[in-house]
Amino acid sequence: MPYYESPVDGTRLHYVDHGPACGAVAVFVAGAYLGHEMWEHQMLPLAEAGYRCLGLDRRGHGRSDDVWSGYDLDTLADDLQGLLDHLDPREATLIAHSVGTAEVVRCLTRHGSSRVARAALVCGVSPGIIRSQRLPDGLDPAVVRADEEFFRRDRPAWFTHFADAFFAVTSAGNEVSDAYTRYLIDRCLVATPRAATGVRSVVTGLDLTAELPAVDVPVLVVHGTHDTSAPLAHTGERLARLVQNAVLKVYENGGHGLFFTHAERLTADLREFLGAAGATAATTGICRMLAAAGIGG
């Protein structure tokens, strides 16, 4: 079971490494409360198609260490950069969901893009969703405080209460079994209370409006029309306008959980976005040497 140490404080962080070692690299960053397993419907088919898929469990999530500190955006971005430094990929594609999109943006603006060729931001909360001076149409802070009280009082009930809205199940085509909903809630509850509330604090204070224009790699923005967690007009559309080289793909009826309800379409879009990198990786010297030796996927 692979781990590496955070460059910030030595926290032991878990990751998975699926697919051929010489494949084009896709690094998956999960949304709040979830570990890498949320991406199974993207990572597995992409790894089977020849891409090297890396999935990170952020601190306090999944199989990473349960620690008290480090739930600020700079540290979380440094943890992500630590994985890139540990594995030393070239021309990686960063793929993130929800609050993970903020970690990717901060990683790029804080550490640069020497290892990164592109980024896909799925259902992102960037640039921010809470009302502030630069985000005047964001959520009312009083509503957010009431939601935080509910979350702290009864996390299992909170996840259950919002599950249907998360997947936008009342919209056409969004079929989710009770078993899968229960599974994902159980995975969310693996995140420690400290990690869960810490990541929520990142969202509460998030405003990347001034930071997004500094992102210097091509960006694919994917968002659903029925995302109640991160409304399209406040996040995906605004994000695509602020990033210099961004393409926005809007999924009709998609909710925040479109990684499941629209899994095949998302995987296809990601594969298309990764396509040029895949063609490049297939012709690298290391792949040719591995193939000649009968090694690799």
Kindly list the catalytic residues: 98, 227, 256
- Do the beta carbons of residue 108 and residue 216 sit within 8 Å? yes
- The helix (run of H) or strand (run of E) holding residue 45 is helix 40-48
The closest of 125, 130, 133 to 148, measured between CA atoms, is 130
**C-alpha distances in angstroms, 88 versus 143, 171, 234?**
43, 42, 35
The total number of residues shown for the chain amounts to: 297
Q: Which residues contact 204 (CB under 8 A, 6 or more apart)?
A: 130, 144, 148
- Do the beta carbons of residue 181 and residue 167 sit within 8 Å? yes
Residue that the structure tokens 């999530």 belong to: 61
Q: Give the residues across from 223 on adjacent strands.
A: 250
φ, ψ dihedrals at 84, nearest 5°: -65, -45
Biggest distance spanned by C-alpha atoms of the chain: 63
d(CA 156, CA 163): 11
- Do the beta carbons of residue 165 and residue 249 sit within 8 Å? no
- Do the beta carbons of residue 213 and residue 244 sit within 8 Å? yes
d(CA 236, CA 12): 32
Beta strands in 1-99 (DSSP E): 3-5, 12-18, 25-29, 52-56, 92-97
